[in-house]
Chains A and B, each alone.
Chain A
Amino acid sequence: MTDSNPLYQHTVFIHPNMLSRFSRLFQQGVLVQATVGCSVHAFLCHQIGIRPDYLENRIQTIFLDGKAIDAPEQSVIANGSTLALSAAMPGLVGATFRKGGKYATLRAGITDTSSKIGMHEETGCVTVRLFNFMAAEIGPLILKLGIIVTGRDILNAISDLESTENAFRIDAHPASSKSPVGTLNPHDNILLILSPE
């Protein structure tokens, strides 16, 4: 064990050109250690670093624990929450899930209306899912903070890669014959983080 954080056993740094290999993980959901008890808006803009105009215009649909939300400033992320983001979706149903959309009433039964304002901020974990264009556009920002995945997730993503040299660094070491990324324990939790270019 090389890190003292109880949530993961190793840190793996990946080269930015490996990013697209992890987009499936973003669709399934990745764990992010963050300050919780804040609004969705604060989480996305202040912690992840998303521009407010991007949140306003590009992110059209937000689900918090599977419920569509209309006001990111008011919905509060709790420890263990799942947050899913999507660009504009086709179809009537796509339109109904848009935040504050004209058709929000069509999904009234599954809209998040609970008010958790007043919860206190603390460190916790959030599962983030990024659909469609969000994986490529927001994924790098989240990877800068680091995501917690399993060794198996990484092994699956690189299974067809001939060489991992220069693509990864494990803990302090470059991925070499001494610490090949292929030898990660599938059951270990790993903090996957983007290395600076």
Chain B
Amino acid sequence: MDKILRIDVGVSGGPSFQTDSLASYAGLGGRAMTSAIVAKEVPPLCHPLGEDNKLVIAPGILSGSVAAMSGRLSVGCKSPLTGGIKEANAGGQAAQVLARLGYAAIVLEGKPADDTLYKVLINKDGVKIIPANDLKMLGNYDLIDKMKAEYGDKVACISIGPAGEMKMAAASVAITDMEMRPTRHAGRGGVGAVMGSKNIKIIVLDDAGMAMRSPANVEKFKEANKNFVQGLKKHPVTGQGLPTYGTNVLTNVINEAGGFPTFNFKQGRFDGAAKIGGEAQAELEISRGANPTHGCHKGCVIRCSGTYHDKDGHYLTKQPEYETVWAHGANCAIEDLDTIAMLDRLDDDYGLDTIEMGATIGVAMEAGIAKFGDAEAAINLVKEVGKGTTLGRILGNGAGITGKVFGVERVPVVKNQAMPAYDPRAVQGMGVTYATTTQGADHTAGYAVTANILGVGGSVNALKPEGQVDLSRNLQIATAAIDATGMCLFIAFAILDQPDTFQSLVDMVGAFTGKETTADDVTALGKQILTWERDFNARAGFTNKDDRLPEYFKKEKLAPHNVVFEVSDDELDQVYNW
């Protein structure tokens, strides 16, 4: 991973490419790489779909090696949804393959000279950029079938569906999984629209003939990886809960807590939760011959992603994630798993963020475009997006735009990005992260529950209200650092509870890079990433006024606990105070 591939789509006669050395980006991976390049090279005031924005795709520091769980791919740019910096990441095979091909990043830049669509093929022999107008407006599933027929089923693909081509702000970038299905998505912030604005439909990665990336200290690395895997396997969440039920195991629990946003964030409990929860989902999957325990990339030992079959036992989609089940389920009062799975399939095929789409349909339902609970109407609304009708184009640009167009006040967005599946009135600490993250409302921004082990920012007094701000800050720092390694964030549970597993991770990074690594280095990296991102956003015009939840969260009480969001603006402003 010693080079950066830059594809300039603006050259007359069609895109051209060059391979650069890493220069000042040496040693960076994942979110550290994408945010460093965007912060340094993209003018913050540029139009997100214009000439000066860049789409940066980067594997993590450990991707392409045998390190377990190291297959996350980061995709960064200036977001068409938020107008700020964006990093969206996904599993799937692409990070491993890209890293083995030796690229620390692919950068798409410039403005296309005409409307020709291209595919990019990268293999051991180099890079080819080929006109591909025959792929125009293909859904991700048909697109990948074509690639399979042409390049075989061992390649990995990074692609956009029709939503990306139509430059919708909810458009995702799809990554193929181990079975070469386009099921893993860098979903948030409209990264797919930026790829669409560069007229690149798909990047096909073929690592045939390339070796695994090897660590600087082989023996130490092997030992650390072995201990790390053992730690993941023995922990009840990573070794048992996630493999058995997937992330949707959270539905019943968050619902019980009264923090499961229902009817477009009107209440915190959904009567139909048990019907769509992970327990019911896993049972249904098994009864139809699908598999709830499945890895999204080779080297994943947690295996939280599963498969979902239709009533006839045929593959329909991946196992819908907790966020998807909430967004398309409870938030729209839909209690039918088959409907939710169909919506997941459509989102993946059109290339759409399931969280943004579910939240958007919730807003549309509140506006009276469809009735809450109307499963067929929800499916039809997503189909409108895929077809690009006028209504579809409004919905495909997210909850914020939809709320404005239809005059809805209750629009659950921060920095114009839809909130995920935890109501911030019930889980106020999550609200702090939603409000202050550089990314727009994002649950993963403060996800890595490693802060106390890292000792980031000193110890936190959990009994004081301001502890929520301190914790959110520490969690955001730790998360940013993990996002740089290429590690799946779900490792966080094991390293929270098991200091020896955390130590194995630090040892693994050290043995791989050959540089002594400490928890302080990890903290410094996380802070550096957030500083770049925060600085970009400030230059893009964001102020502390943007670090706020919508007003109604402070005024409308959430049943059943009748709580409002109570963290003060002054406290929110302390998050970046380090």
Contacts and interface: CB of A to CB of B under 8 A. Distances in A.
A133 B247 CA distance: 14
Interface in A120-176: 129, 131-133, 135
Given A90-B490, A92-B443, A103-B471, A131 B256 contact: yes
B497 to A, nearest CB: 8
B252 A131 contact: yes
A99 B464 CA distance: 17
Contact of B280 (A27, A97, A109): A27
Contact of B493 (A58, A63, A95): A95
Contacts of A27: 252, 274, 277, 279-280
24 contacts: A27-B274, A27-B280, A28-B274, A58-B236, A66-B269, A86-B253, A90-B237, A90-B304, A92-B429, A92-B447, A92-B449, A93-B250, A94-B253, A95-B496, A104-B462, A105-B463, A105-B471, A106-B428, A106-B429, A107-B429, A110-B563, A131-B256, A132-B245, A132-B252
A15 interface: no
Interface string B545-576: 00000000000000011010010000000000
Interface size, B (range): 35 or more
B467 interface: yes
A131 B278 CA distance: 10
Interface in B262-294: 269, 274, 277-280, 283
A84 B428 CA distance: 21
Interface size, A (range): 35 or more
Given A66-B258, A66-B561, A105-B429, A93 B279 contact: no
B427 A91 contact: no
B343 interface: no
B250 A90 contact: yes
A182 B465 CA distance: 55
B259 interface: yes
A60 B245 CA distance: 17
B273 to A, nearest CB: 8
A167 to B, nearest CB: 19
A93 B427 contact: yes
B396 to A, nearest CB: 28
B105 interface: no
Given A28-B274, A67-B561, A89 B253 contact: yes
A103 B274 contact: no
Contacts of A60: 236
A82 to B, nearest CB: 8
A61 B426 contact: no
B339 interface: no
Contacts of A109: 425-426, 428, 561, 563, 566
Given A105-B468, A132-B278, A96 B253 contact: no
B241 interface: yes
B468 A90 contact: no
Nearest to A132: B249
Interface in B472-524: 472, 475, 490, 493, 496
Contacts of A58: 236
Contact of B256 (A24, A84, A87, A103): A84
A63 B493 CA distance: 21
B245 to A, nearest CB: 6
B254 interface: yes
A68 interface: yes
A108 interface: yes
A55 interface: no
A27 to B, nearest CB: 4
B462 A103 contact: yes
A132 B462 contact: no
Contacts of B426: 107, 109-110
Interface string A76-88: 0000000010111
A90 B240 CA distance: 11
Given A27-B280, A105-B468, A106-B428, A89 B256 contact: no
The list of the 4 closest CB pairs from A to B, nearest first, reads A106-B429, A105-B462, A27-B274, A105-B467
A11 interface: no
Given A67-B561, A89-B253, A103-B449, A110 B259 contact: yes
Contacts of B422: 93
